A and B are shown apart, each in its own frame.
Chain A
Amino acid sequence: MRNIWTIYRKELNSYFVSPIAYILLLMFALIFGFFFWNAVGMFVYYGMESQMRGQMFPMNVNEQVIRPLLSNISVVGLFFIPMITMRVFAEEKRNGTIELLATSPVRDSEVIVGKWLAAVTLYATMLLFSAANFSFLFRYGNPDWKPLAIGYLGLLLQAGALLAIGTFVSTLTRNQIIAGAVTFGICLLLWVLEWVSGYETAAWARVLSYMSVITHYESFGKGVLAIKDALFYVTLIFLGLFLTARSMESLRWRS
């Protein structure tokens, strides 16, 4: 436990002493700021429109602002995750510091979990910037906070799963660019898998679309805590971290 904490602190430190964290946070804040400004503008425009026509459409901040924004984050996250995880092990391998970790009295699993938790923390910090935007809605409106909280939980679970996969990919190479590109490819694939459900309903199509990380976000986005979707992400997290552990062990047998 203490070893996980040691690794976690070191890892988080290395994100924040290098420009990586700041660039990611800045880019995310910019992109999300634009989304937010857009969504709120749209909401206000429709509100005025419906008043002018004298027809009162039901307006709902949760449904019309928060929900689409949350699913935007879940897609934007796919682009940021490879940048967070690409260095995790690839850099240690290139610098030779992997020899220090592997010959210190710590278990592989402690190293992996510490590193993964640090990556999740960086992602959560990124989400804080979006939360800052949402706080304006609470200042000037009266949205329900529960769906928002569940939406964030879903985002964290989804990111946790993809970060675990990215961590695994990072153990396969000493080249950060390769690690980043492969992780990006996998993230993208896991997103677009659900497209097959648009035209095909056969069993294989349902399996493929079930594997899509985006499909499982839908319920969270609606503010529904669905156990089966949460389980999907948790399973993916365990799978990713398990593969990382296997890969680290096989490194020793191969290298």
Chain B
Amino acid sequence: MITVKDLTKRYARTTAVDQISFSVEKGQIVGFLGPNGAGKTTTMRMLTCFLPPTSGNASIAGFDVLEQPLEVKKRIGYLPEMPPLYQEMGTSEYLKFVGRLKGLRGAELFARIDYVLERCAIGDVRNKLLGKLSKGYRQRVGLAQAILHNPDVLILDEPTAGLDPKQINETRDLIRSLAGDHTIILSTHILPEVEQTCQQVIIINRGKLVATDSVHNLQNRARGAESVLVEVGSRNGVLDPAAVEKRLQQIPSTARVVAKQSRDNRHTFEVETAAKDGSTRADIARAIVESGWDLNELRPAAVSLEEVFLQLTKAEASVEKLAAKGGQS
């Protein structure tokens, strides 16, 4: 549905987006992830024909953004970072205007307006002035505007920014429910958002593509060997963490033991194992119980996208540092 090839945006002194390539299948939700200033907004603006790329090309539903911008614009719904609202218009008046801009007329226009009013839960503010709406409502009117003409592709720039937790959940639910009919790209710098909403992640940092994969694969990739979190306690006498650590290291299948946290005579360790069959967990449990300690908790350590992200961007930075050093010598 979306194909991007070597997309580059250069300004006088900086390169905002540097040769990014990816593609998105129909009906998917893709998270566009990166720290602030990574080039997310610039990439989205190029996809929506707001900015022309310096080089490379992008196409949406088979139409090139430079060659056939009008065809592309008919097929996208775009929610910019700042919802594009006219302060002095009422909600339904605004939707009517946007609908006409997008080419909707007559009964179809009114049917679609009713639909998005309900879908985005903004029916109760249909007659209010947009300038008087709260941030949450403004964001939802922005979303309503984007889906109004039932576009194939939705491009949402930080759709949950500035919302309270309840609104964030509602917006995520809404976005998830839109998938299938629509192909969705959403940008964010909040990692859990991607984990919860998206099937695929595109990570960019400083204008460069760092990784593109499914959420599941990325987590696995970063995890590498299996690791387990163990919390050990003792009800009789003070427990010496060094002793526990030593005991854990004696288990044949452990590769590495890292002390994580100590509090109230309870100690948490992260144990990396070489064995993939899960036998280590049984060994750990036995070792601790046999030593007379309490096993409070034993669970696999899930690698959050946060760690994946940090790892990936760190790797990128160190590669760059090496390259810079090579250049100097």
Pairing of A with B: yes
Residues of A within 8 A of B (CB): 2-3, 6-7, 10, 13-14, 17-18, 95-107, 252-253, 255
B70 touches A105 (CB 8 A): yes
Q: Provide the bound-state CA to CA distance between A18 and B131, in Å.
A: 12
Interface residue tally on B, bucketed by range: 20 to 34
Tell me if B88 is interfacial: C-beta within 8 Å of chain A: yes
A104 touches B101 (CB 8 A): yes
A103 touches B50 (CB 8 A): yes
Interface of B is mostly: loop
A148 → chain B closest CB, angstroms? 36
A144 → chain B closest CB, angstroms? 43
A-B contact number at CB 8 A: 67
Kindly list chain B residues whose C-beta atoms are within 8 Å of the C-beta of A105: 70, 73-74, 101-103
Residues of B within 8 A of A (CB): 45, 48-52, 70, 73-74, 76, 78, 80-89, 97-98, 100-103, 105, 145
A103 touches B78 (CB 8 A): yes
**Residue of A at shortest CB range from B155?**
A103
Looking at B73, B83, B85, B86, the one whose CB has the most chain A CB atoms below 10 A away is B86
A246 → chain B closest CB, angstroms? 15
**Residue of A at shortest CB range from B73?**
A105
If A17-B88, A105-B70, A105-B73 touch, whether A99 touches B50 (CB-CB below 8 Å) is: yes
The 3 A-B pairs at the shortest CB distance, nearest first, are namely A100-B84, A96-B82, A105-B73
Q: Provide the bound-state CA to CA distance between A13 and B98, in Å.
A: 14
Kindly list chain B residues whose C-beta atoms are within 8 Å of the C-beta of A6: 97, 100-101
B86 touches A103 (CB 8 A): no
Q: Provide the bound-state CA to CA distance between A106 and B49, in Å.
A: 12
B70 touches A252 (CB 8 A): no
10 residue pairs from A and B, CB less than 8 Å apart: A95-B84, A95-B86, A97-B84, A99-B84, A101-B101, A103-B78, A104-B98, A105-B74, A252-B51, A252-B52
Kindly list chain A residues whose C-beta atoms are within 8 Å of the C-beta of B50: 99, 102-103, 252
If A99-B50, A252-B52 touch, whether A106 touches B85 (CB-CB below 8 Å) is: no
Looking at A13, A96, A101, A105, the one whose CB has the most chain B CB atoms below 10 A away is A105
Additional 5 contacts, C-beta under 8 A, given A96-B83, A97-B84, A99-B45: A10-B97, A97-B86, A99-B84, A103-B48, A105-B102
B97 touches A253 (CB 8 A): no
Q: Please tell me which one of the listed residues B70, B98, B145 contacts residue A107 in the complex, with CB atoms under 8 A apart.
A: B70
B86 touches A14 (CB 8 A): yes
Q: Please tell me which one of the listed residues B81, B82, B87, B102 contacts residue A104 in the complex, with CB atoms under 8 A apart.
A: B102
If A18-B88, A95-B87 touch, whether A103 touches B70 (CB-CB below 8 Å) is: no
Q: Provide the bound-state CA to CA distance between A102 and B87, in Å.
A: 18
Kindly list chain B residues whose C-beta atoms are within 8 Å of the C-beta of A101: 101
B97 touches A103 (CB 8 A): no
Q: Please tell me which one of the listed residues B74, B86, B101 contacts residue A3 in the complex, with CB atoms under 8 A apart.
A: B101
Q: Provide the bound-state CA to CA distance between A7 and B82, in Å.
A: 21
A106 touches B101 (CB 8 A): yes
Q: Provide the bound-state CA to CA distance between A255 and B52, in Å.
A: 10
Kindly list chain A residues whose C-beta atoms are within 8 Å of the C-beta of B81: 96
